[in-house]
Chains A and B, each alone.
Chain A
Amino acid sequence: MSENNPIAIDNDGKPIWKFLWSELKPKGKIFTPFNIISVPIILLGLTLIVIRFWKGLGSVTNLTQEVPWGLWIGFDVVTGVAFAGGAYVLTFMVYILNMKKYKSIVRVTVLNGFLAYVFYAGALLLDLGRPWNVINPIIGNNFGVNSVLFLVAWHFLLYMIAQLIEFSPAIAEWLGAKRIHKLLSGMTIAAVIFGITLSTLHQSGLGALYLMAKEKIHPLWYSEFIPIMFFVSSIFAGLSMVIFEGSISHNVFQKQISEKDHKARTGIILGLSKICAGTMFAYFFLQVLVFIHNRHWDLLNTPMGYWYLLEMFGFVLLPMMLFYFSYRRNNIMLVRVAAILTILGIILNRLNVTVIGFRWDAAIHYIPSWMEVVVTLTVLFTEIWIFRWVINRMPVLRDSPSWASKH
């Protein structure tokens, strides 16, 4: 097995800086379709970011006094974090419930989750008007402890550290650092337990951020149960992302995946679709309960009502049934369709709470500018670049070196 992974051997005896320098060089083709599309967008996005800090948020964004949080928060942060939920669900299944079947996809999911958090926290910095004060809630001179945002900010930070610890054995294997590897592997369970606890709280916390905006969010989307809704939906949002992302990276990085892991994949995907179907049923049921409890029957026959019904039936109930049939019939294609529908549904739901349904009655509607979209794509593409860099170097998809699997 160690033949597949020359790094661990190469590194023995070689100075660390020389090794790192050689690793920084690009591997693989330079003019791929992804590179040709992403590089100009990233360059444009970086220019826009400079303008944004130079001339103020208003020069790049379409934010208004009524709608102060737009695409960068509603999509990059709130939606992105929901999709990163796969990491805590999978670590729960593998490390807590000991479901060995899913072990081969834990690392890539944790890496995805970690990068997602790093970049979405980064996107948050872009949105801050006075980012030089961002250390205030961290260093302890200004603790706004009864703020939900304070809780969410701290949880982001701590969860990033927990995920880094969960992923760190892969870095140690890449560097060939055997002693540190043993130490870091020993910390995994503690990091996992801490990470799941943090995830539960900040996935729901992102919903709790909007609790005080009681009269501002359209009543079909506002209820005191937003935090629970956000938490439950993050389970199948994260897993759908794992399925979707996995189907792409299994093609792109095919060479790295061992025969054994490749064969196990069908079983893994069907297992995940079963969990998705179950949690989506619970979520749909909760939504129905909340709707009946709030008694907004009259609102259904309005444009926003149709929009709400589309979300509930087209993007929750339909993919739920597709997930259900796919594992009954062992149909992987159907799982992929269901995962994509679910992902669209989560984007729809998060944007409905944070942007579309937020001050839906305002005189001036907020519609994101093209520049906000470009910056969002920049964040996304840069994340994919880093992801690809790591996958091509560290044992994430491929097997660990033989010395590492002993402990």
Chain B
Amino acid sequence: MSINRRGFFKVLGLTGAALVIGREMKAAPGGNGDIDFRGVLYDSARCKGCRGCEYDCAEANGLPLPGPAKDIPPIRHTSETKRTVVNEYKTSKGTVFIKMQCMHCSEPACASACLTQAMHKTKAGPVIWRGEKCMGCRYCMISCPFDIPKFEYHSSNPKIQKCDMCYNRLKTGEIPACVANCPNDALFYGTRRQLIKEARKRIVENPKLYVDYLYGEHEAGGTCWMYLSPVPFKELGMKEIQKASYPALTKGFLYSVPSIFVLFPALLLGIHQATKKDNQTPEE
């Protein structure tokens, strides 16, 4: 009996500890709704496909410069050496270009997946990667609905490469390199509210040019990078993904953790005591 009592207190203590961890867990997900993050509005009706932003991005981030346009296939993915690419699609309204990079979700799947907080949603808006915390598990890559984080598979000290909206430039008051250097004014930098207002204005002023849809306003619970287009987004290879935030998908599971940690030990201890007494009486 004394052993059981001791065991009971041990379980009690562990349950208490678990409760503390559980409570921390509850506080964390979501809650980004009120912050007016900064982001970029990309207007593919204005983009002429010069790919200047690819060069500016590579230069700003110390990555190899992309090759000349004639060697490049029309449709590419971002990679560990290219944080942004501009793709060319033949659509119902002729050739349309579209720039791909991290969407900087308001509630990023990658950051909620990261167990070391290496992927981090800054208050300013960019989702950044912090190498000194990252253990290279690549769970961010599994979770990202846009397949954005890229891993350096051929390095013994691999990094995750993805657009960080030029976070270091933002800190010194500059704007992202691609936005600063776009010759066609296709990129517009501002807070999400400003971006939505500007996008609506462009659609209203020129309803024949644009489809009446702002990609990124609600995708994945809202993203900081938003898109206007003259053709339906399907024709530009943009995925149709859920409107709710991705971290919400794991909320139900994470919320069940504290309750299981409280209920299970108590229940198990109870069954243990009950079955033990049952067995002893007839024998002795």
Contacts and interface: CB of A to CB of B under 8 A. Distances in A.
A122 interface: no
A129 B249 contact: no
Interface in B243-271: 246-247, 249-250, 252-254, 257, 260-261, 264-265, 268-269, 271
B260 A145 contact: no
B66 interface: no
A128 interface: yes
B228 interface: no
A145 B28 contact: yes
Interface in A44-83: 53-59, 61, 63, 65-66, 68-69
Contacts of B114: 144, 147
A283 interface: no
Contacts of A212: 109, 112-113, 142-143, 145, 246-247, 249-250
B265 A193 contact: yes
Contact of A133 (B136, B155, B278): B136
B253 A227 contact: yes
B264 A196 contact: yes
A211 B154 CA distance: 29
Interface string B114-147: 1111100000000000011111111101110101
Given A96-B268, A136-B133, A197-B261, A65 B21 contact: no
A208 B250 contact: yes
Interface string A193-209: 11011001100110011
B136 A129 contact: yes
A68 B138 contact: yes
B267 to A, nearest CB: 9
Given A53-B156, A56-B153, A193-B268, A145 B137 contact: no
B250 A142 contact: no
Nearest to A162: B14
Interface string A124-150: 000111110110110000111111111
Interface stretch (B2-10, B94-102, B188-196, B209-217): B2-10
Contacts, number: 193
Nearest to A127: B137
A124 to B, nearest CB: 8
A209 B156 contact: no
A151 interface: yes
B154 A148 contact: no
Contacts of A136: 116, 133, 135
B139 A209 contact: yes
B135 A133 contact: yes
A386 interface: no
B268 A196 contact: yes
B11 A194 contact: yes
B11 A57 contact: no
A129 B138 contact: yes
Majority SS of interface residues in chain A?
A: helix
Interface in B7-30: 7, 10-11, 14, 21, 24-25, 28-29
Nearest to A65: B150
A186 interface: yes
Contacts of B4: 189
B239 interface: yes
A125 B247 CA distance: 25
B275 interface: yes
A148 B113 contact: yes
B72 interface: no
B249 A224 contact: yes
Nearest to B150: A65
A321 interface: no
Contacts of B113: 147-149, 212
Contacts of B116: 133, 136-137, 142, 144
A215 interface: yes
A58 B79 CA distance: 14
26 contacts: A56-B152, A58-B153, A66-B147, A68-B138, A68-B151, A95-B272, A96-B272, A98-B278, A98-B279, A130-B131, A131-B136, A146-B112, A146-B254, A147-B113, A186-B6, A189-B3, A190-B11, A192-B268, A193-B11, A193-B265, A193-B269, A200-B260, A209-B139, A212-B249, A216-B145, A224-B252
Given A146-B29, A148-B250, A211-B249, 17 more contacts: A58-B153, A65-B77, A65-B141, A97-B271, A129-B151, A136-B133, A137-B115, A148-B254, A149-B115, A153-B115, A187-B7, A189-B4, A211-B250, A212-B109, A214-B145, A215-B145, A224-B252
Shortest 4 CB-CB contacts between residues of A and residues of B: A129-B136, A58-B153, A150-B115, A130-B136
